[in-house]
Amino acid sequence: MINLHDVTVSFNGQTVLDQISLSVSPGEFVFLVGQTGSGKSTLLRLMYMDLVPTEGTVVVEQYNSNHVREREKPYLRRTLGIVFQDFRLMEDRSVYDNVAFALHVTGAKGKDIRRRVLRALADIGLTHLRNKMPDELSGGEKQRVVIARALINHPSFLLADEPTGNLDPGTSFDIMKLLKEINTRGTGIVMATHNYELVRRMNGRILQVKDGKVFDVELK
Ligand SMILES: Nc1ncnc2c1ncn2[C@@H]1O[C@H](COP(=O)(O)OP(=O)(O)OP(=O)(O)O)[C@@H](O)[C@H]1O
Ligand SMILES: [Mg+2]
């Protein structure tokens, strides 16, 4: 569960989010839409607690923004998978090692790591690319690797900030289909996007961020 209670975020006295309350239930698929600068990334940062609200409370699973300690945040971020527009892969490691890294840091054992990484790569159709380096991949392939890495610890939610922002329309749609499939298997998804065409083609809850407020909208 993700809950925001009366959350306000201000930067240098400028209010970006103004007393927002919202909940995202387990297994929900939510699109965050809104103009550039409206606060979509800020909302996602609140959810993975990269940002503490100026006022109000964010609760994600058992973590509360008023009480969470720095050393707990890595655990929170395993409860969430995080995907960005610019991929953020480690360029000096193979596809396999990029995905495995997220397990190494949890102290998983060698054999277990291998089994889980191969499984995650297979699930997402990446087995044949496992020994490639990031600079040998297309944008869509890179984003699949990022998604495999984000899912490796079985997060309850995947948070995605414009995951298709650097991809062409066809590849974007493939990534969307993949996210939909992941959602069908039970992972909640919160995704910020500018791409209304994509939102229109998918079934999901749509939250619009506008003038500091967030509300549910229906696209016609
Ligand atoms: N660390 C920061 N310091 C100061 N201002 C910030 C900071 N982060 C965001 N802002 C401001 O907050 C507002 C919302 O930014 P945010 O990145 O959340 O927008 P966005 O909806 O994600 O935009 P985009 O669609 O361009 O990604 C913007 O006006 C931005 O300039
Ligand atoms: Mg943004």
Burial environment of residue 32 by CB neighbours within 10 A (0 to 12, 13 to 18, 19 or more): buried
Cα separations in angstroms, 86 against 52, 82, 90, 139? 23, 12, 12, 9
Flag whether 62 is in a domain.
no
The series of mean pLDDT values per 10 residues for the chain, 220 residues long, is 98 97 96 96 96 97 94 89 90 96 83 93 93 95 93 93 92 92 95 90 92 90
> How confident is the model at residue 62, as a pLDDT?
93
Residue 157, Cβ neighbours under 10 Å: how many? 24
Residue 76 near ligand 1, beta carbon < 6 Å:
no
Flag whether 155 is in a domain.
yes
Flag whether 4 is in a domain.
no
> How confident is the model at residue 104, as a pLDDT?
81
> How confident is the model at residue 202, as a pLDDT?
87
> How confident is the model at residue 85, as a pLDDT?
86
> How confident is the model at residue 74, as a pLDDT?
86
The pairing of strands 55-60 and 63-64 is antiparallel
Distance 30 CA to ligand 1 centre (A): 20
> How confident is the model at residue 77, as a pLDDT?
85
Flag whether 20 is in a domain.
no
Mutate to test the pocket of ligand 1, among 12, 18, 38 (most ligand atoms within 8 A of CB): 38
Flag whether 1 is in a domain.
no
pTM of the predicted structure, to 2 decimals: 0.93
User: For atom 26 of ligand 1, which residue has the closest CA?
Assistant: 36
Q: Identify the CATH number of the domain in which residue 211 sits.
A: 3.40.50.300
Flag whether 185 is in a domain.
yes
Q: Which ligand is nearest to the CA of 36?
A: 1
The packing angle between helices 139-151 and 110-123, to 10°, is 130
Distance 163 CA to ligand 2 centre (A): 11
For residue 213, the enclosing domain spans 27-51+70-217
> How confident is the model at residue 203, as a pLDDT?
85
> Residue 175 in contact with residue 144, Cβ under 8 Å?
yes
The two structure tokens encoding residue 207: 């939250």
Closest CA to 97 of 84, 86, 108, 113: 113
The pairing of strands 213-217 and 63-64 is unpaired
Residue 36 near ligand 1, beta carbon < 6 Å:
yes
Q: Which residues of 72-101 are buried (b: 16+ CB within 10 A; e: fewer)?
A: eeeebbbbbbbbbbebebeeeebbbbbbbb
How many domains, the chain? Answer: 1
> How confident is the model at residue 160, as a pLDDT?
96
DSSP characters over 40-78: HHHHHHHHTTSS--SEEEEEETTEETTT--GGGHHHHHH
Distance 215 CA to ligand 2 centre (A): 17
Distance 51 CA to ligand 2 centre (A): 14
DSSP characters over 180-214: HHHHHTT-EEEEE-S-HHHHHHS--EEEEEETTEE
Flag whether 61 is in a domain.
no
109: CB partners within 8 A, 6+ apart: none
